[in-house]
A and B are shown apart, each in its own frame.
Chain A
Amino acid sequence: MPRLGFVPCEHLATPRRAAAVTLAALAAGVLLASVSFAFMGVNPVSALTRIFAGSFGSLYGWGETVTKAIPLALAGTGLCLAFQGRMWNIGAEGQLLCGAVAATGLALAAPDALPAWLMIPLLFLAGFAGGAACGAVPGWLKARFRVNEVISSLMLNYICAELVQYLVYGPWKGRQQFGFPYTNNFSAAATLPVLGATRIHWPTMVLAALLAPAAHWLLTRTKMGFEIRVMGGNPVAARYAGMDPRRTAVLVMALSGGLAGLAGTGEVAGIHHHLTYPWSISSGYGYSAIIVAWVARLDPLLVLPAALFFGGILVGGDAIQTSMHLPGSAINLFNGIILMCLIAGEFFLRYRPRWRAEAGA
């Protein structure tokens, strides 16, 4: 009897094969998710139809999808940079919140007389700085003390969420907000313009669309990008080549956090116009961005279509939540299944199935 075996084949990992494997993994993920929907007593066909009709089936749906894709693209681009350097930044959620806090701090402190052309760039700078500071901490702890960055960046997610709650219930609680835990609303100059009747805050969208190719260029065409990739591939070689992996580690985490911080600015200045509950500011964008980066195979250029796809999933998830009475965590389940399928699929990039004769036969 011949037996199914797997032969290692590193050369198989061509871009075309990678694309095929990724698409197959995504398809398997959607299929598995459908099966789990069926187990929950939800008709998977109608659930999937509603997800895609809700997100891509109408002009309104597209508007919402793009709105949700913006923070995913920014944070996902940042995660590509970190992951390429093998810095496992799981803290994009906290970095996004930190950026939102910094932008809100500036918006509340700045005089109303400031013009929008000055205010809006300053808000993004503040958001970047806030996110970068939050990302640099686990980077520095890793570089200086070899503290596991997965856990330290994740712990900061919880810490940042508590910080936001403290601020909106305490010192920053707005006076005109009828007792809601919101800060005062941003002035008109600190509010991002939107496209037509949608919620697409276009300055952030433009930023996301420009920064993804910029990050691709940084990774592939600059000395720093080369250092990041070498650090990720072979830290020992990096040291022998005279690079300073510690400096690169802090820098890449700060950049990664800064990009998530920009997403935070977009959420407060473009959508809410005040700071509020952490779970309203970000519906898990920092975690979904991990999958976005992984689907894009850590290439920032591919982050844009991946972000659009997962933006659609989030919008569709909201649609079935209300119409099919599923809890918000259903989207977590969906994301978990997809990510699991993606990394399981990578096996087929490195190994080729082959029928082998039984030993001794």
Chain B
Amino acid sequence: MNAGLWADTLSRSCAAGTPLLLGTLGEICAERAGVLNLGVEGMMAVGAVAGFGTAAATGSPWLGLAAAAAAGAALSVVHAVVTVALKANQIVSGIALTMLGLGLSGVWGRSYVGTPLAARFGACQLPLLGDIPLLGPAFFRQDPVFYLALLLTAAISFLLWRTRWGITVRSVGENPLAADAAGVDVARVRFLCVAAGGTLAGLAGGYLSLVYIPSWIEGMTAGRGWIVIALTIFAGWDPRRAVLGALLFGGIDAAQYLFQAWVPPNFLKMLPYLATILALLAGRRTAHGEHSAPVALGLPYRKGER
């Protein structure tokens, strides 16, 4: 393989990995506070359609991105109300949220099918770095959302481990009873973390319809929301590791183009899903200590009850 093809594949891996990274960051936020949100697929779908619709109507991809984030957040609030306030089963609520999001996006987007998107993000080449052979084209000539995702990774990592805020969030996920006793409003923290997660999932969806496949196709999330949940486990609930996982899975996506000549396309399309199951296996084996699941993950907290 020549250098051009390598650079191209790497670049494609970064682009395919960006929505996975954004979604995983969001799920890390929610799960670190103890709320499992299986509705990522639905929030991404709604983000994708809201982003596309807004960008098409206003001509501004940035407004589209903002709308995508808002739509993801709005849908996640449903999950927060049902699981945090009404203490319902988080697994079933997440599945319902996925159905809701996929249905809503399909109905909402029916008039966008087949419309090309004029308002797009251009690639922005970073000075000097973009000229590095091989790595330059792959990492430093991407769209602005790619850089935003990296910035958000650093910010969330910092917030979770280096600030008082982060300690509060993690304590709510590990031991809500103790956090409650220390005067933390558990329900409020969980609510905000689920909403932050929804915002990021919405951004991930917006990336799909504004950058990755600049159009609206029903079902364009194609299971990425579920891959995100597996990547969260694979990453050991750590944003830095999420970058590696997203790049790896972006690579699997991009590798499909390389092997088209030798393997039937349907088997290539199975690859990300098979790899997701393998990632779950790998995640289980490497998760220890700081990288194990938050203890209270999935458990509703009932104040004053045990």
Contacts and interface: CB of A to CB of B under 8 A. Distances in A.
Chains A and B belong together in one complex: yes
Among A170, A329, A337, residue most surrounded by chain B Cβ atoms (within 10 Å): A329
A336 B101 contact: yes
A332 B106 contact: yes
B284 A335 contact: no
Contacts of B78: 340
Interface string B197-226: 000000000000000000000100011001
B264 A146 contact: no
B226 A155 contact: yes
Interface in A321-361: 326-337, 339-340, 343-344, 346-347, 350
A151 B229 contact: yes
B95 A90 contact: yes
B90 to A, nearest CB: 10
Interface residues of A, number: 46
Given A151-B230, A158-B223, A339-B96, A329 B107 contact: yes
A129 B85 CA distance: 42
Nearest to B104: A333
Interface stretch (B149-157, B161-169, B182-190, B272-280): B272-280
A116 interface: no
B89 A148 contact: no
A165 interface: yes
Contacts of B266: 162-163, 165-166, 169-170
B270 A159 contact: yes
B277 A155 contact: yes
B52 to A, nearest CB: 15
A154 B226 contact: yes
Interface string B81-103: 11000111101110111111111
Contacts of B233: 148
A158 B267 contact: no
Among B42, B91, B269, B277, residue most surrounded by chain A Cβ atoms (within 10 Å): B277
Contact of A147 (B88, B96, B99, B281): B281
Contacts of A326: 107, 110
Contacts of B95: 90, 150, 290, 339
B103 A346 contact: no
Contact of B103 (A151, A152, A294, A331): A331
Contact of B274 (A159, A165, A340, A347): A159
Contacts of B91: 88, 150
Interface string A39-64: 01000000000000000000000000
A336 B88 contact: no
B102 A162 contact: no
B13 interface: no
Interface string A284-309: 00010010001000000000000000
Contacts of A344: 81-82, 86, 88
Contact of B97 (A163, A331, A340): A340
Contacts of B302: 8
Contacts of B105: 329
A170 B107 contact: no
A155 B223 contact: yes
B267 A336 contact: no
A154 B38 CA distance: 11
Contacts of B274: 155, 159
Contact of B99 (A8, A162, A332, A347): A332
B290 interface: no
A175 B91 CA distance: 45
A315 B100 CA distance: 19
Among B81, B93, B95, B99, residue most surrounded by chain A Cβ atoms (within 10 Å): B99
B184 to A, nearest CB: 20
A330 B280 CA distance: 32
B294 to A, nearest CB: 14
Contact of A40 (B102, B107, B277): B107
B304 to A, nearest CB: 9
A147 B287 CA distance: 12
Interface string B30-54: 0000000010001000000000000
Contacts of B230: 148, 151, 155
A162 B218 contact: no
Contacts of A30: none
B103 A162 contact: no
Contacts of A156: 273
21 contacts: A150-B38, A151-B229, A151-B277, A155-B230, A156-B273, A158-B270, A158-B273, A329-B102, A329-B105, A330-B103, A330-B106, A330-B107, A333-B106, A333-B107, A336-B42, A336-B97, A336-B101, A340-B93, A340-B97, A344-B81, A344-B88
Given A150-B38, A158-B222, A343-B96, 5 more contacts: A141-B280, A163-B266, A333-B100, A336-B98, A339-B95
Which 9 A-B residue pairs are closest in the complex by CB-CB distance?
A329-B106, A333-B103, A336-B100, A332-B103, A336-B99, A166-B266, A339-B96, A347-B86, A155-B273
